[in-house]
Chains A and B, each alone.
Chain A
């Protein structure tokens, strides 16, 4: 059965993806759940929860709220929290409960904006999709709501889209910024990580955008189309260990499993060998080479793995690949395992 996981835990879901993008932007983020989904986000998928405060709340739905569709209670609670916590916007993040009862997010958004006087970003996430779908929705909506004009281009200013712990397996932008400053950029902004909503509003002042995950590609394309901001698909490789190990792989057939931007970048860094990229998550067609593939099940990965001598992937995938005889190099991916890149 494709949807039966026997050796791995579920991957980061779409509601976590939305929350990861919005986490540091100063909004009131409401996960429309009974408590469990907010627990999953705050207690697992959002490692910054233990380092940086953010106004993420659970709507605290109870059975009768769901059965009777008591949206007005939700709006009332949101108004109350808006009086208690300073916020630049509100966000409503869907989970399985509103999906089952078919919550009308468009109507809810309008009602919340009217009652609170703040912009409301509403996401019809369901908890059944992967995090990249949620991130994509969040990037697109942020642009739609907050990026309205072209600022004068600042020479040397680089913007990074896609910097969430789920994509990058880090909780702060320090190493990412250093990496790109070494490339000659003087001002590097990681949107959504160690930056603010104001930075996003001025995203069009960037000389260039680097997109570090497929979930942010749609937003980058929109920026290029509407404001002419150039972008490049890239990933800042800050972990030298993986590169050192990969340097010894001459003439071997290699499979890299990660989110597409990270996998693609690693492939270019170890060029000269026969290397394919794969991902549990979406892969943008424009950046997909022949031989690359999306993993749809544990069984599929087991079968495909037989074709390779080396696999570079999060080491928790070893549980799926117990019979894999080749070499395995660890490349943590938070959205897969909840493991951060340390050091």
Chain B
């Protein structure tokens, strides 16, 4: 068996983005769904895949219209309390060729509504590759359901076939969950945070900084306790997008509801975080005081460097960060990043160029390469970061850094070094 494929940061940076080796391109080889990477190869598998994400609308239920195989693993979500919110209309061989199932959807929605003690706020109709290929106009079917049953009905597209498109399933579902909002009078003291299906950590300084900037109400869909609170998202003066996968939803909200958006990137380097906050102050015309948070982060970072300088780590991509940016941050504070298990693309290629300068020998592996079946560690590591990295190195201490609550800003950086310090 061939050894696991890798390329060093230096070697990779010497190639142009268009010339990255096939082994790092998921479209050029079979895909190894390692236990570590199941959640992002399969758009409905784990974590906030399309199915769970679409139920971010409070009080909604989902009808998955698909062959049985597409909904099989939804049972995993039962443990998280979703068992009363999922319904399935199973397709047979004739359905998937003729599309006759589309006529049955309104009846199925009717039967679900009869079954429920409380009328749902919305029915999310989730469709899969079959309807992608049939070219189904699910918007039309949803309108029919709405007319017949008087419940808002929204499509959610779990099209794994389009995983590498600009509007991929996780971007499309973000648009779906905000699509029920209707235009309201905007309130200058309200903003929305978009990007995640779970909230930022309560301790994140962003909340305090926005309040200092005059924002009295900061909305996140995951903190909306009911549908009324959800509808209030339409009152926001602006959307703060913290994850590029929500950009399309933000653009849609800008067009439909007149809510402009500002995009920040989740980074861990305190200096980059500072730069983003300066930019945010400029855009908002405010002067919130991020400095004390910056100073605390820098002080803790220096302390971390004193204690752990020279330690070696490997970083995966199943975690709340961009692996390469995270690597650059840790290198800055004295850590040797020996290996990365990650996907290199347009978004993080600039980080890679910098990595090649600072740590040219860092090995870059692709989680999705079939050769990862043969992965064996042949370097010394003191700790690993990420669910996938912990899978490859089960005997080594590590942190998953993959909580549902989302780290961000200086608070996120402090959490990272505190957790990592805890295992080094």
Contacts and interface: CB of A to CB of B under 8 A. Distances in A.
B42 A35 contact: yes
Contacts, number: 218
A3 B92 contact: yes
Given A5-B87, A36-B70, A85-B373, A30 B30 contact: yes
B184 interface: no
B129 interface: yes
B167 to A, nearest CB: 12
A81 B2 CA distance: 10
Interface in A68-123: 77-78, 80-81, 83-86, 95-97, 99-101
A149 interface: no
B373 A9 contact: no
B346 interface: no
Contacts of A162: none
Contacts of A35: 31, 33, 41-43, 160, 163
Interface string B73-114: 111101000010011111111011100000010011001100
B33 A38 contact: yes
5 contacts: A5-B88, A10-B74, A44-B73, A128-B67, A128-B69
A72 to B, nearest CB: 14
Interface stretch (B130-138, B148-156, B280-288, B411-419): B130-138
Given A13-B68, A36-B44, A44-B76, A80 B38 contact: no
Contacts of A128: 67-69, 90-93, 95-96
A50 B35 contact: yes
Q: Which of B71, B86, B160, B371 is packed against the most chain A CB atoms within 10 Å?
A: B160
Interface string A227-247: 000000000000000000000
B69 A10 contact: yes
Which 4 A-B pairs rank lowest in CB-CB distance, beginning with the nearest? A39-B42, A127-B69, A34-B160, A10-B68
Given A55-B370, A67-B133, A10 B88 contact: yes
Contacts of B15: none
Contacts of A33: 129, 160
A40 B70 contact: yes
Contact of A61 (B69, B71, B161): B161
Interface in A120-148: 126-130
A35 B31 CA distance: 8
A126 B31 contact: no
A13 B38 contact: no
A60 B69 contact: no
A58 to B, nearest CB: 4
A5 B134 CA distance: 23
Given A5-B90, A11-B68, A33-B160, 18 more contacts: A4-B111, A10-B68, A35-B33, A35-B163, A36-B70, A38-B31, A39-B38, A39-B73, A40-B45, A59-B31, A60-B26, A62-B164, A63-B165, A77-B28, A83-B2, A100-B133, A101-B133, A130-B68
B163 A34 contact: yes
B216 interface: no
B69 A100 contact: no
Contacts of B44: 36, 39
A100 to B, nearest CB: 5
B72 interface: yes
A37 interface: yes
A174 B53 CA distance: 40
Given A9-B86, A77-B29, A39 B45 contact: yes
A144 B374 CA distance: 31
Given A35-B163, A127-B67, A60 B31 contact: yes
B323 interface: no
A225 interface: no
B104 to A, nearest CB: 7
Nearest to B133: A100
Given A36-B158, A38-B42, A96-B128, A3 B30 contact: no
Given A1-B104, A1-B111, A35-B42, A66 B67 contact: no
A6 B370 contact: no
Contacts of A96: 66-67, 69-70, 91, 96, 128-130
A85 B133 contact: no
A176 to B, nearest CB: 25
B115 interface: yes
Nearest to B95: A128
Given A3-B89, A13-B68, A39-B45, A80 B161 contact: no
Contact of B108 (A1, A16, A77): A1
Nearest to A42: B33
A57 interface: yes
Interface in A196-221: none
Contacts of B183: none
Contacts of B71: 9-10
Nearest to A34: B160
Contacts of B132: 63
A77 B27 CA distance: 9
A1 B101 CA distance: 12
A24 interface: no
B45 A84 contact: no
Given A60-B27, A62-B164, A13 B33 contact: no
A116 to B, nearest CB: 13
A93 to B, nearest CB: 11
Contact of B134 (A16, A56, A80, A100): A100
A100 B136 CA distance: 13
Contact of B35 (A3, A42, A60, A127): A42
A1 B105 CA distance: 10
A37 B75 CA distance: 15
Contact of B97 (A34, A83, A100): A100
Contacts of A67: 133
A293 interface: no
Contact of A63 (B86, B112, B162): B162
Contact of A36 (B45, B115, B133, B373): B45
B290 interface: no
Interface in A1-33: 1, 3-6, 9-16, 30, 33
A70 to B, nearest CB: 11
A53 to B, nearest CB: 6
Contact of A81 (B89, B96, B370): B370
Interface string B351-376: 00000000000000000101101100
Given A13-B68, A36-B160, A63-B162, A86 B1 contact: yes
A180 interface: no
Contact of A1 (B31, B70, B107, B164): B107
A185 interface: no
A338 B74 CA distance: 11
Nearest to B46: A43
